[in-house]
Amino acid sequence: MKIAVAISGGVDSAVSALLLKEAGHDVLLCHFLMSDAGSLGAEDAKRVAEHLKLPFFLLDLRSEFESCVVKPFIDEYLFARTPNPCVNCNPNFKFKNLIAFADRESCDKVATGHYAVVKDGRLFQAKNIKKDQSYFLSRLFPEQIRRIVFPLGEYVKEEVRRIAGEKGIPVAAKHDSQEICFIPGDDYEAFLREREPGSFVPGDIVDTEGNVVGEHVGLPSYTIGQRKKIGAHLVRKYVVRIDKENNSVVIGGNEDLEQKIVTLSDTRWLVKPESETFEAEAKIRSVSTPKKCLVRVLPEGQTELEFALPERAAAAGQAGVIYRSGEVLGAGIITI
């Protein structure tokens, strides 16, 4: 089988390419140049290709990445939401372009170093739940998933590092990046201040009863559940709402962050709902685990999740992902 592998310059995609080559597949490596800061990743990707003796293609997609991923990320913050750029990038940029490249090169499948599993065209969590990335892949289109292979779905990170070291892969010891790829140092506030300085307009910090208790430094500096930059208080307080209309940040106690019902918009189903109401599990942030809930399918792409126990700090703009027995059923964008 001929497979196009997206090679990032990190150890996961490198080992994915190695495993596919050793399984006898005809493997091509493709690296996307997405920002001016991405030259180091391109150099590492090329070193991996040379080590594995595989064809290497470098595609300059900086302009498309800016319009497709970076600008929507900025716009979401300007609308007082908290976006997840990877959830948007995977279907609309990364796998879109990877599959287009695969088609040009007459490849049957595409692959990446993500930790997830595809079986019979359906998406599941990885064996290594701590590294599972199905949340970030949950908005992929069904036709994209049918083209994908995830070689690391049954591996844990320690195995991947060991394989890379044994095979002498040049990036075997390279640290994993936990950062947003286009934001230097993961300092999203500095990035936003540079790109949209006019959006940082100070305003009131108010409590849940409307009393002014301080001043904020600009709405893009805040997200739901945040404790920093809200001043000192006699009891622990958190950001519970961002009020763009009044340019204010609302703070409250932990109980004000809890809710049993979370609403999603633009829900994309990978498995057609069995009925308008059904039981499943869902999670509303990447680092949490799926929790039991009742799913209600509403008109116009909306979905309501009613959790058995209150969930904490649901943030508009993040993804809400619906699972059953480890399979991703669908995902929408949280609107609260």
> How many other C-beta atoms are found inside a 10 Å radius of the C-beta of residue 174?
16
Compute CA distances 325 → 115, 124, 132, 333, whole Å. 17, 9, 14, 22
Listed in sequence order, the residues at least 6 apart from 296 whose beta carbon sits closer than 8 Å to its beta carbon are 276, 277, 303, 304, 305, 306
Burial 12-42 (b: 16+ CB within 10 A, else e): bbbbbbbbbbeeebbbbbbbbbbbeebeebb
Which residue(s) pair with 330 in the sheet? 269, 322
Closest alpha carbon to 82 in 201, 219, 231, 175: 219
Active-site residue, from 68, 89, 107, 293 = 89
* Rounded CA separation 45/152 (Å): 18
Amino acid identity for residue 104 in this structure: R
Q: Annotated catalytic, 181? A: yes
Alpha helices per DSSP H over the chain = 11-22, 39-52, 62-65, 71-78, 85-89, 95-104, 134-137, 142-145, 157-166, 188-195
> How many other C-beta atoms are found inside a 10 Å radius of the C-beta of residue 66?
13
Which residue(s) pair with 292 in the sheet? 281
- Helices 11-22 & 39-52, crossing angle to 10 degrees? 20
C-beta of residue 332 within 8 angstroms of C-beta of residue 269 = no
* Rounded CA separation 149/117 (Å): 8
* Rounded CA separation 223/97 (Å): 31
Which sequence positions are flagged as catalytic?
89, 181
